[in-house]
Amino acid sequence: MLSKTAVRRLMLLKQGVASTQGHADKDHVFRAVDGLGCIQIDTINVLERAQYLTLWARLGPYDKGHLDQLAYRDRLLFEHWAHAASYIPTRDYRYYVRSMEERSREMEARFSRRTGKDPDLIDAVLARIRDEGPLGSSDFEGPKRRGSWWNWKPAKTALELLLGAGTLLVHHRNNFQRYYDLAENVLPSWVDASPPTDDERVDFFILRTLGALGAVKAGDIREYYQHWSVKLGRTIKQLEDSLRRLNSEGEMETAKLEGGKTEYHLLASHIEDAQRLQGDWGFDSVRLINYFDNLMWNRGRVHTLFGFQPKLEVYLPQDQRTYGYYHLPILYGDRLVARLEPKMMRSEGTLLVRGYWPEEGFKPTEEYQNKLEETLGSLARFNGADRVEWTAQATSSASP
């Protein structure tokens, strides 16, 4: 029998959020990504791009260049679809071969549907990279079409489809623009690219999810590694069959949630942690979590375990926002207690707090407020600012 508190705390522990922060070197950065299985890449830069913030929430200030080096120099990480567009440990490459093969089969039809152009253009784009080496979309002629992300110019669409198919990989980025090269020129020679069996592949995503979340329901596996993204090809019922098999093999155990019939599955090696966390915790720091952080991917799970309703508002019209364009949930100990809207004023060297909304029933203490200010100071320094300022509205909302 597991309490909801133990499941929540186990998740925070395995996510690496409930850890002591100190000096983080490149090895710490890699181990953080590896422990999570992948981290999502996002372009929004109001504060800092999500991939860097997700690591900062776990490591504290670190050299952002370490992540780029791991991906584009050391080749210990590669870019592909996992939860969404993600950095993934390169040693896991073989488990993504199936999704690459499926995208390869769909590529020409998807290209024609999106662009209305002859799919021969894909071969022309590929030929240029084969002849000239790494190229970005700006190296191809043609105006960018207006509209959503899928309305890229045809060459950009071809590049992204070739990337999804595994024919190309990201060689490097320059000012966040991808430069693509043939996969054989990017993938290290030590990588095992042999396709696993289907059961091996599904077991990999199950065990990776258990390692990153602690105790899970079958549906959580389809959310962590998005089933459409990795082409999981398993219904919840089929995943439950796989979980029962792994249970019979001694890999994992099943426990009911206290006070209900809900079953959670967890690795056998995590049972001791789960039992301990029902009473022993000890983590009381403040962390700021972005909505592209692994911790927030499954909104239903977050609501169930934390009693917190996630609300990503960047894609909503302004008049439909409650918490501002880009706000961050605040984790204090093992609870999500408030939301805060920060904005980097880069030319002024200032991190501006534009809004603050405590959760209903949360009573801030002086200790909490001190820790929040300390965390905001860390975030400011991480992003090159030397001070934190609060608007009058945010200050009044944060006052006891």
Tell which of 186, 210, 234 closes a domain. Answer: 186
CA distances from 362 to 58, 248, 278 (A): 24, 43, 22
Range of the domain at 374: 286-398
| Residue 328 domain flag | yes
pTM, to two decimals: 0.94
Structural domains of the chain, count:
2
Between strands 85-89 and 77-81, the pairing is antiparallel
Question: Which residue is associated with the tokens 């200030």?
Answer: 61
| Residue 319 domain flag | yes
| Residue 191 domain flag | no
Q: Collect all residues with Cβ–Cβ distance below 8 Å to 195 and sequence separation of at least 6.
A: 94, 97, 98, 101, 201
| Residue 365 domain flag | yes
| Residue 260 domain flag | no
User: Which CATH number is 381's domain given?
Assistant: 3.40.630
pLDDT tens-place values along the chain, 400 residues long: 899 999 999 999 999 999 888 889 999 999 999 999 999 999 999 999 999 999 999 999 999 999 999 999 999 999 999 999 999 999 999 999 999 999 999 999 999 999 999 999 999 999 999 999 999 999 986 555 454 433 458 999 999 999 999 999 999 999 999 999 999 999 999 999 999 999 999 999 999 999 999 999 999 999 999 999 999 999 999 999 999 999 999 999 999 888 778 899 999 999 999 999 988 898 999 999 999 999 999 999 999 999 999 999 999 999 999 998 999 999 999 999 999 999 999 999 999 999 999 999 999 999 999 999 999 999 999 999 999 999 988 887 877 6
Tell which of 156, 186, 216 closes a domain. Answer: 186
How does DSSP classify residue 88?
E
Question: What is the Cα–Cα distance from 74 to 88, expressed in whole angstroms?
Answer: 13
At residue 165, what is the residue type? A
| Residue 305 domain flag | yes
